[in-house]
Amino acid sequence: MAEPAQLLKAVSSELAARRRIAIIPAFNEEQTIARVIDEIRAFDPGFAIVVVDDGSIDRTALTAERQGVAVLRLPFNLGIGGAVQTGYQYARDNGYELALQVDGDGQHDPQEISALVGPILDGSADMVVGTRFAAGGGYRGTRLRRLGIHLFAGVVSLMVRQRVTDTTSGFRAVNRKGIRLFAAEYPHDYPEVEATVVLSRHHLRMVEVPVVMRIRETGNSSITAFRSVYYMVKVLLALFIGLFRKYTTPLEEP
């Protein structure tokens, strides 16, 4: 496999020709948000960056503003789906052609960006998802969490008629079509899982690429063992209901 620097060199001229933005949804990520911003800039200073502060009660927004990036402050906590859609609406309204979604907790390694944007740049995908289940990736989640991820992957694969391995990954890149779709219609309850289905229902193309994700260094996951079971049941119910849902079609570009 090519090194990240080699991959970036191969796509750098095409990437430079695109108006591109990194969307960082963040909730109480004061300790990591500056590093995430710095790492994206170090990898590619051409990326515009918008931090969507999802009603944080710490200094996440202030820390991001001091880094000189755009910050959208939500008046209260909407959840990851609402925060991410706000970022896509910002990207759409400001004419960006490629959007990268990166979590604010530092688990997503910006050195993997080249792997994500490659299929977008060569026109083979509308959305690219970084999957943790790469050979040698060493993903270490709890047994219950791994079970849930594999369960969702199996169900979603059947729904979209395409093999999917990591439906809960929030490390993603989309092209202009994906930006317009998710700005208009993005799931709020279980966004990462359902977004794959929404994309498929609108006949857009998705591919997965293997990435290595880092271990969370600060903060704690909001998903406990009990909530994991509750979450799995509710996601499966939402997916079932989604089978009967009629999806709207975003307005065509002028």
Under 8 Å CB-to-CB from 108, ≥6 apart: which residues? 36, 102, 130, 170, 171, 211, 213, 214
Encode pLDDT of 103-128 as tens digits: 999 999 988 999 999 999 999 999 99
| Residue 155 near residue 200, CB atoms below 8 Å | no
Mean pLDDT of all residues belonging to the chain: 84
What do you get for the CA distance between the two ends of the chain, in Å? 40
pLDDT at 129 over 50: yes
List of domains in the chain: 4-140+167-217 (3.90.550.10)
DSSP state for residue 185 in the 8-state scheme: -
Encode pLDDT of 157-204 as tens digits: 888 889 999 888 999 999 999 999 999 999 887 788 889 999 998 999
Range 75-104 average pLDDT: 96
Quick one: how far is CA 135 from the chain centroid? 21
pLDDT at 55 over 70: yes
What is the bridge-based pairing of β-strands 127-131 and 48-53?
Answer: unpaired
Range 46-61 average pLDDT: 97
Global pTM?
Answer: 0.84
CA dihedral over 42, 16, 130, 84, signed as positive or negative: positive
Most confident range (mean pLDDT) of 5-14, 65-74, 106-115 is: 65-74
* Least confident range of 53-57, 214-218, 242-246: 214-218
* Least confident range of 68-77, 94-103, 107-116: 107-116
The conformational region for residue 58 under phi > 0 = left, psi -120 to 50 = alpha, else beta, is beta
Tokens matching residue 70 = 């755009």
| Residue 243 near residue 159, CB atoms below 8 Å | yes
| Neighbouring-strand partners of residue 224 | none
The conformational region for residue 108 under phi > 0 = left, psi -120 to 50 = alpha, else beta, is beta
Higher pLDDT, 223 or 247: 247
DSSP state for residue 24 in the 8-state scheme: E
Higher pLDDT, 106 or 249: 106
| Residue 215 near residue 149, CB atoms below 8 Å | no
